[in-house]
Amino acid sequence: MSDTFFSGAPHWTWFIIPYFFVGGLAGGACFLAVVLDWFGGPEDRPVVRTGYYVAATGAILSGLLLTIDLGQPLRFWHMLFQSANFPAIMFKAWSPISFGAWAILLFGLFSVLSALGAMSEEGRLQAPAFRVLHRGALAKIVAGLAGLLGFFVAGYTGVLLSVTNRPIWADSPWLGALFLASGASTGAAALILLAPRRGATEQSLRWLSTFDSRALVVELLVLVLFLVSLGAINRVWLSFWGLLLVVGVVGLGILLPLRLHAQRRPVASAAKLVLVGGFLLRLATMLASEGISRFRVAAGM
């Protein structure tokens, strides 16, 4: 038996699972928006703006979900500053949860600035001060930082789970890569669904669809490597969560969308399935490990 089976479950469930999904989606969408902002053309601007809106909304929602999940929500700032020595910074580079708290804060800051720039670009904010947020070098740097931090947020959630002593999570180093690939595919899917309302062009949507297919292939490969790395631990998947992983994540969330993309069917259907698969991936990986505590208690451990 793996030594991870002797640890206790942290009860990261109904706020953390949506946070992992929303954070991954927002980070992936922001990264793609930045790629198009930096290297795309004028025809990509609607997708870029949508990406920044999704990122800002997702970052704020992520922060709220994380705060609500705390036992003492009003002490959320203890993760950022030393409570007994304010305003000294609280930061541990070797602790993903500490690193992540700062990453979400900064991702929120830069993505909101980029979203304000997008609003200014659309004429919804008239003040000249906001123009620097969608034109020129400063806007590109702010967006670039948002994109990098967004991609970090999408991936660190998996690393955070690996840096524990819990079954499944700590038994493989692939969870970060898996969540990142899923964040990229769900981010692309969210943009495919939301960007047409802002006038996204056929070129942008086709690029998103192509990227989504490739990200799904990467996700599938990483998922296989993740399962292979688990070795004998894979027995834990002989449960409802294993069924959900195979049918919901692999079948509905990866293979079916890939087939739809390949057949050039309406991409909205594929995108919706990708979002469902991304959520189920977090649900299955979280609850498969959380549920092991039941056996632990039953065994008097």
Partner 1 sequence: MPEPMGFFTDTTVCIGCKACEVACKEWNQLPAANGGLGELSGDSYDNTRRLDGIHWRHVRFIEQFKGPYDGRWLMMSDVCKHCVQAGCLEVCPTGAIIRTQFDTVVIQSDVCNGCRACIAACPFGVIDINPVSATAQKCTLCYDRLQVGLEPACSKACPTDSIQFGTITELRARAHKRVDQLRAQGVQAQLYGAEPDGPLGGLNSFYLLVDKPEVYGLPAHPQLPTRTLGRSATLTTASAAVLGLLALVGLRKRRMEEVAADSSGAPPLPPSSHV
- CA distance linking residue 142 with residue 285, whole number of Å: 33
Q: Is 146 in the site for partner 1 (CB under 8 A)?
A: no
Residue 114 class from Cβ within 10 Å (0-12 exposed, 13-18 middle, 19+ buried)? buried
Which of residues 14, 68, 86, 95 is near partner 1 by CB under 8 A?
Answer: 95
CB–CB of 24/187 below 8 Å? yes
Q: Is 176 in the site for partner 1 (CB under 8 A)?
A: yes
Q: Is 7 in the site for partner 1 (CB under 8 A)?
A: yes
Residue 67 class from Cβ within 10 Å (0-12 exposed, 13-18 middle, 19+ buried)? middle
Interaxial angle between packed helices 136-162 and 175-194, expressed in degrees from 0 to 180 and rounded to the nearest 10: 130
Q: Is 101 in the site for partner 1 (CB under 8 A)?
A: yes
Phi, psi of 81 (to 5 degrees): -130, 150
Which residues in the 60-79 window bind partner 1 by CB under 8 A?
A: 69-73, 75-76, 78-79
CB of 28 to partner 1, least distance (A): 9
CB of 301 to partner 1, least distance (A): 4
> Binding string, 250-289, against partner 1, x = CB under 8 A?
----------------xxx---------------------
Q: Is 86 in the site for partner 1 (CB under 8 A)?
A: no
Q: Is 220 in the site for partner 1 (CB under 8 A)?
A: no
Nearer to partner 1, 131 or 214 (CB): 214
CB–CB of 228/68 below 8 Å? no
Q: Is 231 in the site for partner 1 (CB under 8 A)?
A: no
Which of residues 124, 135, 206, 235 is near partner 1 by CB under 8 A?
Answer: 206
Collapsing DSSP states into helix, strand and coil, what is residue 48?
helix
> Binding string, 14-53, against partner 1, x = CB under 8 A?
-----------------xx--xx--xx-------------
Residues forming a β-bridge with 272: none
Only one residue has tokens 């002989």, namely: 238
Which range binds partner 1 by CB under 8 A, 54-62, 131-139, 156-164, 274-282?
156-164
- CA distance linking residue 25 with residue 185, whole number of Å: 8
